[in-house]
Structure 1
Amino acid sequence: MPMNTDRIQTSHVGSLPRTPELLAANERFQAGEIDLAGLGAALDAGVADIVRTQREIGIDIVNDGEYGHTTSGAVDYGAWWNYSFHRLGGLTPTDEDRWQTAEKRRSSPGNVVLTSFPDRRDRERFREAYEDPTAGVLAHRASVPQPKITGPLTYTGQDAVAGDIRRVKDAMAATGATQGFLAALSPGSCARVRNEYYATDEELLYACADAMREEYTAIVDAGLIVQIDDPSIAESWDQVNPEPTVEDYLDFTRLRVAALNHALRGLPEEQIRFHLCWGSWHGPHTTDLELKHLVELMLTITAQGYSFEASSPRHGHEWKVWRDHPLPEGKVLYPGMVSHSTNGVEHPELVADRIEQYASVVGRENVIASTDCGLGGRLHPQIALAKLGSLVEGARLASERLF
């Protein structure tokens, strides 16, 4: 994960729009007509195409578009998490979709009460908007049931992650890309399914850590960067109802960070980057926890790079946080310079301004321009690719001014 030497490098968070052929194959998979192996041909062609597209746009650090993470359709806010259901043993399928089913459960430490999506505090505050299908707050999505944990968690995705690695490395070789990454689920997010086996949160989290470590290790051993997807660090704040104290929430979160660091032990930091966000849905997000409360804890995660929302309307001002929280030496930031939550395509000058703001507080060598979150499943393909183009052009403009 080299730092910038003569220009601002670019990347993105992972998910990119799927091809029509891959969406059709995923639909057949969801219907039980084909298995994971049956997705192979569509994945081979799709990954080759999306890596070539990234390189043609000018993205420096590329990935497979998360094509190997099964999706329920063109709109899917949860593929980053749902893919793990097909790579873990110890799960039993259910017909419950946590986006639609209300539930509450007490978690520890911090003695917080987690609710499901319908009971989130942002949704309570804007109930009419969330329930209006024409408002654009929640786009139409297929219902995706989540399993429950009924036995010891094990990792069963060896063939799947090997396929992800092979496809992205083949595509990188074909296009001359020298830096690549693959996304993988964090223990804290893995543990959000219903648990009927482990006695405590700690047991559950460390079981998730031991299972998912196999995926992290495979990606790193292949010479790629592993991106740890962990919206739960920030997003769960809105899922705690009633609102907790910040300290109680941080106690709750520290255990999740400890489990992640356990999973990452011994792996090279320069091949690890961590992604934090406040959720993919296009809601008001007025109950997001501010970055200033999370930044020090985030920096204790064993990673060289940290990716987070930096251009959304709720978080675009938070570059100032880094004035009071110096970036440790050798670390790199991947702030989002374009957003997944709006159809407006950011002007390259705005992108350049945002890059320069971060460079002014953490140094030009430590800012890799990225996206707020994955663009696939959240934006129309034309808009998503236009945003990547604006990101690259903005980075070029900023580079002319900073180097």
Structure 2
Amino acid sequence: MPLRDTPPFRADHVGSLLRPADLLAARARFAAGDLDAAALREVEDAAIRDVVRMQRDVGLQSATDGEFRRTSWHMDFIYRLGGIRPTDDKIQVHFRNAEGDLDFESAALAITSPVRLESTIFGDDFAFLRDQVGPGVTAKLTIPSPSMVHYRGGRAAIDPAVYPDEEQFWADLSAAYAEQARRVHELGCRYLQLDDTSLAYLNDPEQRRLLTERGDDAEHQHLRYIRQINAAIQDRPAGLSVTTHMCRGNFRSSWAAEGGYDFVAEALFSELAVDGFFLEFDDERSGGFAPLRFVPPGKMVVLGLVTTKRGQLESKDTLKRRIDEAAKYVPLEQLCLSPQCGFSSTVEGNALTYDEEVAKLSLIVETAQEVWG
């Protein structure tokens, strides 16, 4: 069974990578007013060249810019959509890890005018990445899914004077995403990933309880999100592969939700019109592989079996055994391998070293070559 020549690839990764120390230092100087934007971008450019080289050297067929120009995997994108602005209110997300609890705080958002795409978001960033990857490597752009615009605030974040009918909000949001996909394709993007924690969070009864308390229809929210993602990508340009990554939160080696994909699985896998699903399966809180029985022929499943939460390297034999277990529900030719999440969904990064990150990516490539190569 040969390796794939279209995304997602047999050995792949989610997108974010650990920020190097000199980049973090430059960001701190920029925040303090001691470095201007042009100088910061030069440091970012150099760091991205290095991290693209690393991805190529370990044998990956795709490369991202590590999300090195972002503070957060999603809010940096969302705040650049027309009609959306940060507010003085704060979003509190409660995370957990093996050592205890951790809280994440970010500015809330408000939708104060019609949602629209004013300029191509991350367009210049993608163009720089495109020019670095070299032959045989596909530049991958990661952006938050449309669901994340709604999940962070719900109906309460939408000004009723702007959208008395929520249906128009959804139509405008999907249209903005469709235009973003069209524009990045024109820039040469052939691999677009929609990152989505909401569809994984909704498997957790506690997360559904929190949504119900704020007035959302938690039992059916995933159906709305699936419809809107489909509306955003239904007319995507030919040759643009679209995947989605669904995890239960990733902040400094911590997570926010637990539970298998059972609650959303039937609708998600049978109806969401993406080319592949990146799914986390790195430990018991992710549930088993049984929900994969709903994946139809032709859709790819990227098994996130290698954790980014800690540096300890997985056993290749264990990875192969778990791939075999998943193949009881999805044919082996529809499976790929990746880390369960990014290594640095926010600028702080997870609790592992650069060398441990590289070792995990190398293990994924070696395992994939032995299983599918």
* Category of TM-score, reference length = shorter chain: 0.7 to 0.9
Instruction: Specify the SS of the correspondent of 1:260.
Output: helix
Identity %: 26
1:182, distance to aligned residue in structure 2 (A) = 0.8
Q: How does 1:50-129 map to 2 (within 5 A)?
A: 50-68=51-69, 70-71=70-71, 79-99=72-92, 117-118=93-94
Corresponding position of 1:105: none
Does the residue aligned with 2:25 lie in a helix, a strand or coil? Answer: helix
2:280 alignment partner, one of 297, 300, 309: 309
The amino acid of 1:53's aligned partner reads M
TM-score (norm 2): 0.81
Question: Which 5+ residue runs of structure 2 have no aligned equivalent?
Answer: none
2:357 is paired with a residue whose SS is helix
Task: Supply the AA of the counterpart residue of 1:88.
Answer: L
- Aligned match of 1:385 in 358, 362, 368? 358
What's the CA shift string for 1:154-199, capped at 9, x where partnerless? 22342x52222212211112xx333231111211102224333433
Alignment partner, residue 288 of structure 2: 318
Q: What SS does the aligned partner of 1:95 have?
A: strand
Query: Would you say how many aligned residue pairs link Structure 1 and Structure 2?
Result: 350
Conserved in 2, the CA contact under 8 Å of 1:351 and 1:395? no
Residue 91 to residue 136, structure 1, CA distance change in 2 (3 Å): same
* 1:19–1:243 Cα change, 3 Å: closer
| Contact 1:336 1:370 (C-alpha < 8 Å) held by counterparts | yes
RMSD over aligned CA atoms reads: 3.2
Evaluate the alpha carbon distance shift between residue 199 and residue 254 of structure 1 in structure 2; reply closer, same or farther with a 3 A threshold: same
> Which residue does 1:259 correspond to in 2?
228
Unaligned 5+ runs, structure 1: 72-78, 100-116, 124-128
Q: 1:255 to 1:33 in 2, by over 3 A?
A: farther
Q: CA deviation at 1:83?
A: 1.0
Q: Does the aligned pair in 1 maintain the 2:82–2:116 contact within 8 Å?
A: yes
**CA 49–283 in structure 1, closer or farther in 2 if over 3 Å, else same:** closer
> Would you say 1:395 and 2:361 are equivalent positions?
no
Return the letter of the residue paired with 1:156. E
Aligned to 2:308, the other structure's residue is in SS state coil
Identify the residue that residue 180 of structure 1 maps to in structure 2. Answer: 139
1:355 maps to 2:323: yes
Residue-by-residue CA offset, 1:286-345 (whole Å, 9 max, x unaligned): x63431222222221121111111223312x522333x32x3222111110212333432
Residues of 2 paired with 1:84 and 1:284: CA distance? 21
Task: Note if contact 1:91-1:148 (Cα within 8 Å) is conserved in structure 2.
Answer: yes
Pairing partner for 1:335 from 303, 313, 320: 303
Q: How big is each residue's C-alpha offset from its partner over 1:190-238, in whole Å with a ceiling of 9 and x where there is no partner?
A: 2224333433543333332222333222333314210011111121454
Deviations 1:375-403 (A, max 9, x none): 1222333332232222223323434xxx6
Q: 1:98 to 1:32 in 2, by over 3 A?
A: farther
Q: Distance in 2 between matches of 1:199 and 1:233?
A: 26
Output the CA distance in 2 between the equivalents of 1:337 and 1:217: 32
Counterpart AA for 2:73: W
Change in Cα spacing, 1:360 to 1:186, as seen in structure 2 (3 Å) is: same
Rounded to whole Å, the distance in 1 between the matches of 2:190 and 2:317 is 31
**What's the offset of the Cα at 1:256?**
1.5
Question: Normalized per residue, which structure has more strand?
Answer: 2
Paired residues for 1:149-228 under 5 Å: 149-158=111-120, 160-173=121-134, 176-191=135-150, 192-193=152-153, 194-196=157-159, 197-221=162-186, 222-228=188-194
Cα deviation digits, residues 328-377 of structure 1 (max 9, x gap): 22211111021233343212222222223334432232112111111122
State the distance in 1 between where 2:317 and 2:102 align: 30
For normalisation by structure 1, the TM-score amounts to 0.76
8 Å CA contact 1:227–1:272 kept in 2: the answer is: yes
